[in-house]
Amino acid sequence: MKAAILYQTKTPLRVDEVELEQPGPGEVLVKLVGTGVCHTDLAVAHGDVSVPLPVVLGHEGAGIVQQVSSGVTSLKPGDHVVLSGGASCGKCYHCIKGMPVLCEIFQPLRFGGFLPGNQSRLKKNGQKLHHFFLQSSFAEYSVVPQEVAIKVRQDAPLETICILGCGVMTGLGSVLNAAQAGAGTSVAVFGCGGVGLGAVMAANLAGVYRIIAVDILENKLKMAEELGANYTINASNGKVVERINQITGGGADYTIIAVGNVEATLQAIDAVRLGGKCVIIASPPQGIKVPLDPRSLLREKTLRGCSMGSGKPILDIPRYVDLYMDGKLPIDKLITHRYPLSEINKACQTLDQGEAIKPVIMF
């Protein structure tokens, strides 16, 4: 099959012929239909996040199950699935405690380069290639543990719902699960890429009274308005915190940090009203520190992180698909560009330059 391989950071991905082994026990073979391109893929390619190389990137895939191996109980050939990096074993401490996205088995493997048991099903000229987020969906086919493949309804377009595999699910969950924002509250979202716009959609879905979108690109702010934002702030004009205070009368009940920028992180913390909550779903590059003044938290402010939407992907993804199909969650508006796998570097470039909100690779 063909797959896009990152051999070295800060170099283009290369689409090559690779070998894909048959699925092992508990694994399934999936034929990809579409996969989203996410800023996390770019972060690895730029060297901001470390993973073993060479690696086949891609972690927002969706497709059709072709083959199941021994021990697979939840899927059968012909099932439509969204591949999620939020897979969970259901047995470890964090899974039992109700935090499956922190699963002790699967969470370390997102950037670890292997499937469970240090297995790899990818080869190039006999050399093992590393997996990414347990799926490596910049490829025509993928072998994944059955826990990674979330079964969804068959009438939903896989080339659209694929973006629920990571980024959009993270944005949705930051509001619905981590912040738990409700009707009559105010939410300010910093960063209006695919993740941040997912947060805007979730706030609109939850009946949030004031939804404030913050970014430096007008095309993204315009999209935020289309998805339910009541107010937009172009951060390049300055005075972001002052403007949010004016809009909300003292600060937002919740702020969502969906951009890896130190200044935006500090602004989001400052923009929370007393007793409010700031949720981090994106961070600056690896090794960059944020100079936090802890006194800002002494007035009952809460600062918390959110991984993969802080939810239960096996339940959340099918529900989000239903909401999309019912016209209540317009995730299709986020997909601004579509490319074949042969144009993977063009897809990454349009995302990196802010031209695209969410590119999708079509197979």
Number of structural domains in the chain: 2
Q: What is the pLDDT of residues 95-131, one digit of tens each?
A: 999 999 999 999 999 999 999 999 999 999 989 999 9
Same domain, 105 and 181: no
Among 306, 322, 350, residue at a domain's last position:
306
Same domain, 238 and 178: yes
User: Has residue 284 got a pLDDT over 80?
Assistant: no
Q: What is the pLDDT of residues 132-184, one digit of tens each?
A: 999 999 999 999 999 999 999 999 999 999 999 999 999 999 999 999 999 99
Q: Can you give the CATH number for the domain in which 200 is found? A: 3.40.50.720
Q: Let me know if residue 317 belongs to a domain.
A: no
Its pTM stands at: 0.94
Give the residue, 29 or 237, on which the prediction is more confident.
Answer: 29
What percentage of the chain has pLDDT greater than the value 90?
93
Same domain, 19 and 142: yes
User: Has residue 283 got a pLDDT over 90?
Assistant: no
> Do 115 and 131 meet the contact criterion of CB atoms below 8 Å apart?
yes
Same domain, 11 and 138: yes
Q: Let me know if residue 313 belongs to a domain.
A: no
Domain containing residue 234: 172-306
Res 136: pLDDT: 98
Res 248: pLDDT: 97
Same domain, 10 and 129: yes
Res 291: pLDDT: 86
Same domain, 296 and 340: no
Going by C-beta distance under 8 Å and a sequence separation of 6 or more, which residues neighbour residue 190?
196, 214, 215, 235, 255, 256, 257, 258, 259, 264, 265, 267, 268
- The three-point CA angle 45-48-54 to 5° equals 40
Q: Let me know if residue 176 belongs to a domain.
A: yes
The string of DSSP letters for 128-183 reads E-B-STTT--SBSEEEEETTTEEEE-TTS-HHHHGGGGTHHHHHHHIIIIII---T
Mean pLDDT of all residues in 26-35: 98
User: Has residue 332 got a pLDDT over 80?
Assistant: yes
